[in-house]
Structure 1
Amino acid sequence: MKETKVNKLGVFLLFTLMFLAPFIENTRGIFIPIFKEDFSVSNTAISSMITGVSLAGMAVTFIGGALIEKLGQKKTVLLGILCLILGMVLQALSNSYFMFFVGFIPIIAGLNIYSVASNTMVPLIFVGSSTLAMNLFHFMYGAGSTVSQNAIGVLLDYGITWRSIYLFIAALYVIVLLAFKFTRFPDKQRVPVKEGEVSVFKNPKLYVFGAALGFYVFAEQGMSLWLPNYLKEAFGLRESIGARYLGAFFLLFAVGRLLGGFIVQKTGVMRTVIFTEIAALLLLFIGVFFGNSYLFVISISGLFFSIVFPSTMSLVSKIFKERPGMATGFIMTMVAFILNSMNLLMGILMDEIGPRLAIFLLPLSMGISLCLMVFIRIKTKNNETALQ
């Protein structure tokens, strides 16, 4: 993989940030039962909070491409880190549900800013092997998820509070923030819009990409957000047990990210994405349909979940060549909108029909994503360069 105007420390910190992201993003599910007890709120209140503050994050994601063009790659990432630190500290020190709610806003904004910036930076840094690089880059997310799920499960068993855990994670981000002073990153130059050029927003494939990834991301993140709550309320399993199931899921998820890029380069992006979505959907459905004795099957599905997002995102700069930054920002906004809407629906269903039935929203969402991926494959089958 060829590096372009970036030092080794910059690459290391970029990958480190991806490793740290799930420590705050993918551990909320473990903490949901604790948040409910600490602040005396319902599932619907939690999902409403997630949906409400994420609307602000969606606005940030939508302008993410413009932020990169205005501030440059490095300053955009720094802004995201600052938002994350602020939000974690606010939540850790909150003494009311309102303050906890407020602290969630900069966390979501920071995660979304970094997501847009990082998904446009990797193709700039690693020219000619973006699919492999994206899978290895997102492998760090899977590795971070595995470590965070298991570590937090152990810390909770030892009586460490969620507030102390949040402050420690914030301290790690402070260290990364200080180290960024010594990094160099390539800056994507603004692409002028030519007179008469068709806007990227008039391309229907942009919306199909956003919807396909949105429903997929809900199924993936729904595992970390809702599975521990489902295991506790449906089967009476402790949060630490739920963390272990998730730990196994994300361990295999990380293995898939590590090896997936090499497989995708040989078999083609969309062909591999469709196959792995089918496998993940079948395993997820079997796990939730048969219940307690088959919960381990859900963990196995992590191996197949892993390839979908980074491989599909690697196509954005190839299919939307004119404005890849703006396309990425818009797609991530659609992902956030669908994710938040589905999370709200999941919280309502958990309260109204119970966790045993509500959990089927995850495989349903995966099925919708699969159908849209097949549609993308059909519409882009003549573009073999993009599909590889």
Structure 2
Amino acid sequence: MDKGSKINGYILMFVVFGGFLIFGFSENVKGPAIPRMQFDFQLDESQLGVLLALNSLGYLVACSFTGLLSRKIGIKWTGILAFGSMAISGILMYLSTNYATLSASYFLMYIGNGMLEIGLAIMAARIFTRNTGTMMNLSHFFYGLSSMVAPIIAASMMGWNVMGGELGWRGMYLIMLSLSILPIIPSLLGRFPQEEHSQEERISLGSLVRDPVAWLIVAILSFGVVSELAVGSWLVNFLEKAYGWEVDKAAGMLSAFFLFFMLARLFLGPITDKIGYTLSIMIFSAFSGICSLAAIFIGEKGAILFAIAGAGIAPIYPTVMALIAKRYPKGTDTAITFTVTLMGIASVIGNLLIGFIIDGVRRLFSSEGGGDAAVGNASIIGLQAGYGFIALMALLCSVCCAILLAFLRKQRREMIELQSN
């Protein structure tokens, strides 16, 4: 490799790693900011719900066109457009004067986030052609790192004194999203690998729809990601209401989850390359599901197992991206778009199901009567059922991996038999 190629490789790595770092910040600074937004605009809970729903909508809209866009204008300019739209959304958020303008700027931010997630996955698949599992997990380590510190940094920044007043959520978003400009500079300088296959050679969307392996990969990613994202939404709530923990203590356990999560992405990547992507996901997701179930059954003394489960769930997303890159080298962008779009829909449904399960089980047990103590027990049982569903998602992810392994081995045997005849 000549010196120029080596320098270009470092530039592209900076874009991918920096992109994941900024992606984590943009997605996870909202926790401390949302209560202040709600206060400033006097939003009721339904308006806040609509605002948050724009996250999923913007993400799904971006998923629907990013793969096509990358083929039309190239992955380089797709990434630059994603970074630029996020920076512009920060300016619009700073200038927002009412609920409508805030919603519009939030929607644009999540369009940029969705484009960035798909774009970074395509970039990484093209750049990291060797040790793909290791490099994919390392890339997502930077997302985990920024996700872990983003709420702390955001809360601190909003209290900064700037020109005689607090920086607030507007200034915080303006500064944090302005960081999106930084990866644009190396993006302009770098030479990105292009799709090497002609249109005729590329795998089509129709081929993916007819491919049972593609649907198994969708199921694996969907179950794994629902389990992963649900922890951030429900763990603190579970610990506070089921065990009576203070918010700081419960938030500390969530931070511990993200610590195990981050370290797993840093250190477990080489294992995925060594023993195989599908087998790795099967083992890690089973470990996560068993840890979560054990934590529920043991009770408060086993709460640390909720955090340790993060080590199992963390490698799933990046390892599935590596699996897609290996399985569909002739049209990785199409395969990633297909998989991640369906995963996004499944994530919305999964989180809705968790809420319905908690409420449904609580109502079922509280309807039997017995006073306040019975109502309290019913609430705890409902929370346990909801969190049990999160554990079940991880276990189903593992089961789907086992089915995929069996299917691929059968395909391999049939191919060997055809070649020998």
> Shorter-chain TM-score: what band?
0.7 to 0.9
Query: For each residue in 1:320-359, what CA deviation from the matched residue of structure 2 results, as whole angstroms up to 9, or x when unmatched?
Result: 2332211111101011111122234445666775672544
Q: Which runs of 5+ in 2 are unaligned?
A: 161-165, 363-378, 413-421
Query: Which residue identity does 1:78 align to in structure 2?
Result: I
In the TM superposition, residue 131 of structure 1 has moved relative to its aligned partner by 1.7
Aligned twin of 1:118: 120
Matches within 5 A, 1:1-388: 6-29=8-31, 39-42=42-45, 46=48, 48-152=50-154, 161-189=168-196, 191-193=198-200, 199-231=207-239, 240-288=248-296, 292-346=300-354, 353=362, 356-357=383-384, 358-381=386-409
TM-score normalized by the length of structure 2: 0.78
CA distance in 2, matches of 1:173, 1:260: 28
In the TM superposition, residue 141 of structure 1 has moved relative to its aligned partner by 1.6
SS in structure 1 of the partner of residue 112 of structure 2: helix
SS in structure 1 of the partner of residue 409 of structure 2: coil
CA distance in 1, matches of 2:86, 2:335: 24
Query: Which residue identity does 1:321 align to in structure 2?
Result: P
In the TM superposition, residue 96 of structure 1 has moved relative to its aligned partner by 4.2
Q: 1:174 to 1:166 in 2, by over 3 A?
A: same
Q: 1:282 to 1:20 in 2, by over 3 A?
A: same
Q: 1:232 to 1:263 in 2, by over 3 A?
A: same
Query: For each residue in 1:103-127, what CA deviation from the matched residue of structure 2 results, as whole angstroms up to 9, or x when unmatched?
Result: 3322222122112222122232222
Percent of paired sites with the same residue = 23
SS in structure 1 of the partner of residue 193 of structure 2: coil
Q: 1:29 to 1:289 in 2, by over 3 A?
A: farther
In the TM superposition, residue 316 of structure 1 has moved relative to its aligned partner by 0.9
Q: 1:149 to 1:303 in 2, by over 3 A?
A: farther
CA distance in 2, matches of 1:207, 1:90: 39
Query: Which residue identity does 2:383 align to in structure 1?
Result: R
SS in structure 2 of the partner of residue 325 of structure 1: helix
Are the equivalent residues in 2 in contact too, given 1:131–1:310 (CA < 8 A)? Answer: yes
Q: Which moved more, 1:132-141 or 1:291-300?
A: 291-300
CA distance in 1, matches of 2:238, 2:317: 25
**Larger Rg over CA atoms:** 2
In the TM superposition, residue 362 of structure 1 has moved relative to its aligned partner by 2.0
Number of residue-to-residue matches in the alignment: 383
CA distance in 2, matches of 1:306, 1:195: 31
Q: Which runs of 5+ in 1 are unaligned?
A: none
In the TM superposition, residue 147 of structure 1 has moved relative to its aligned partner by 2.6
Q: Which moved more, 1:145-154 or 1:304-313?
A: 145-154
Query: For each residue in 1:220-266, what CA deviation from the matched residue of structure 2 results, as whole angstroms up to 9, or x when unmatched?
Result: 12222343444456566566545432322222212111111111222
Q: Which has the higher contact order (CA 8 A, sep 6+)?
A: 1
SS in structure 1 of the partner of residue 194 of structure 2: coil
What do you get for the CA RMSD once the two structures are aligned? 3.4
